[in-house]
Amino acid sequence: MNHFSYRKRVLHAEEVPLSAIADAVGTPVYVYSTATLRRHFRVVTEAFGSHPHLVCYAVKANSTLAVLRLLAQEGSGFDIVSGGELARVKAAGGEPGKTVFAGVGKTADEMAQALSAGILFFNVESPEELDLLDAVGRAQGKRAPFAVRVNPNVDARTHRHISTGLKTSKFGVPFEETVALYARAKRMKGVQAVGLDCHIGSQITRTAPFKAALSKVGGLYKELKAQGHALQYLDVGGGLGITYTEETPPTPAEYARTTLSAVGDTGATIIFEPGRLVVGNAGVLVTRVLFRKKTAARQFVVVDAGMNDLMRPALYDAHHGLQPVVQRRGQEVEVDVVGPVCESTDVLARQRKVVLPKQGELYALMTAGAYGMSMASTYNSRPRPAEVLVDGAAWRVVRERESVEDLWRGERP
């Protein structure tokens, strides 16, 4: 459920026509809906009912300050993977005490910043990382709270680029080595085990992989508790998929039921780290048609957004819905919607049936709120898009379009 819909043939974000935003701010522009963000967060947290839990929104999905602030106001915690994300959470008014820190390559500086900020816990991904965290903790005269991210060796049955829970993946500690790592941690003075963590991948559209991973992880949690580790948190990661085209992922309520039936009896506070589920359908990328171009093989529509602005189609062959901002009647033709970037993979929408647009008309690439702007780059020296947040009939620019001067800030010719 989202708040992007047609009114009198014009696509609106809540009560604002996307054409009005594009005309005022220029294109490409990301547009987010406050009502959708709020609704998604509430549906997710309410799904766990009265079971002790904390939703830690995965900042990497969309790290724009205004989005983080809105979620912080809703009571969200955060899942971060860098010092930069920690700084963003703090700048947006998020609470470090409700923030967990994952990632296979944390530096000593990042650990020290997070520990002094009072982070909830670190998700440790290797024995050497645990040694470094121990040193950082001792240097501050503290015990750094941690959970081991265990790799349960489960196939998430998602795109191979976004699967993280197989034994060939770089993420987490092998299942069989986890008990020994907790035992070793017990002898350290700079760390304190507080939980257990796993995350098996992203855009997961069935419950079976979650069930398989959680039954292993739930068993391990109980075993660790029985060995005397005073664990309190079971972090089940993120990864619940959304509908881009025809996927029918479990609803948050179904997901929560699956989770609680697998690990509800552990007595742990459940930490859930959704990213895409919260922001994916809350954002669109609005782009303007530059040229139509016909070759013997294809009808192309060249738009002013490229793979640098929305990388998912080029990176994962991902599908994003393509909607004209103003609907027009006419004969449909099959087109490839392509960006200006000098790469053959710069195809935002492939072989779609549309009424051939005129130059200057607008398209919205749907479901672009997650891993859109946060993965944007300046490749081809293209300044990154502006971002707008709509709230009812009001809207505001929450990030200015990057300027050419921004592109070379810090450079010394």
Ligand X SMILES: Cc1ncc(COP(=O)(O)O)c(C=O)c1O
Ligand Y SMILES: N[C@@H](CCCC[NH3+])C(=O)O
Least Cβ distance, residue 203 to ligand X (angstroms): 6
Give me the DSSP letters along 100-128. EE--TT--HHHHHHHHHHT-SEEEE-SHH
The residues pairing with 7 across neighbouring beta strands, listed in sequence order, are 10
125 binds ligand X (CB under 6 A): no
110 binds ligand X (CB under 6 A): no
Buried b (16+ CB within 10 A) or exposed e, 168-185: ebebbbebeebbebbeeb
Cβ atoms of 133 and 122 within 8 Å: the answer is yes
Please identify which residue in the block is written with the tokens 């069935």: 206
274: closest CA among 312, 237, 235, 233? 237
Would you give the distance in Å from CA 132 to the centre of its chain? 27
Binding mask 19-58 for ligand X (x = CB under 6 A): ---------------------------------------x
The residues pairing with 68 across neighbouring beta strands, listed in sequence order, are none
Least Cβ distance, residue 193 to ligand X (angstroms): 18
Least Cβ distance, residue 375 to ligand Y (angstroms): 6
Please identify, using beta-carbon distances, which residue of 53 and 199 lies nearer to ligand X.
Answer: 199
Q: Going by C-beta distance under 8 Å and a sequence separation of 6 or more, which residues neighbour residue 384?
A: 308, 309, 373, 376, 377, 378, 401, 402
Site for ligand Y in 158-187 (CB under 6 A): 162
Region binding ligand X by CB under 6 A among candidate stretches 107-115, 211-219, 275-283, 296-304:
275-283
| 373 secondary structure, DSSP code | G
151 binds ligand Y (CB under 6 A): no
Please identify, using beta-carbon distances, which residue of 60 and 98 lies nearer to ligand Y.
Answer: 60
162: closest CA among 99, 212, 209? 209
163 binds ligand X (CB under 6 A): no
Site for ligand Y in 300-319 (CB under 6 A): 312
275 binds ligand X (CB under 6 A): yes
371 binds ligand Y (CB under 6 A): yes
**13 three-state secondary structure:** strand
Least Cβ distance, residue 404 to ligand Y (angstroms): 27
Residues annotated catalytic, as ranges:
342
- Tell me how many residues contact ligand Y (CB under 6 A): 6
40 binds ligand Y (CB under 6 A): no
371: closest CA among 190, 259, 239? 239
Please identify, using beta-carbon distances, which residue of 103 and 324 lies nearer to ligand X.
Answer: 103
Which of ligand X, ligand Y, none sits in contact with 312, Cβ below 5 to 8 A by type? ligand Y
Please identify, using beta-carbon distances, which residue of 182 and 210 lies nearer to ligand Y.
Answer: 210
**247 three-state secondary structure:** coil
Residue 275 annotated as part of some ligand binding site: yes
In angstroms, the CA 335 to CA 144 distance is 54
Binding mask 56-95 for ligand X (x = CB under 6 A): --x--x-----------------x----------------
**209 three-state secondary structure:** helix
199 binds ligand X (CB under 6 A): yes
Which stretches of the chain bind ligand X, using CB under 6 A? Answer: 58, 61, 79, 102, 199, 202-203, 237-239, 273-277
Which stretches of the chain bind ligand Y, using CB under 6 A? Answer: 60, 162, 202-203, 312, 371
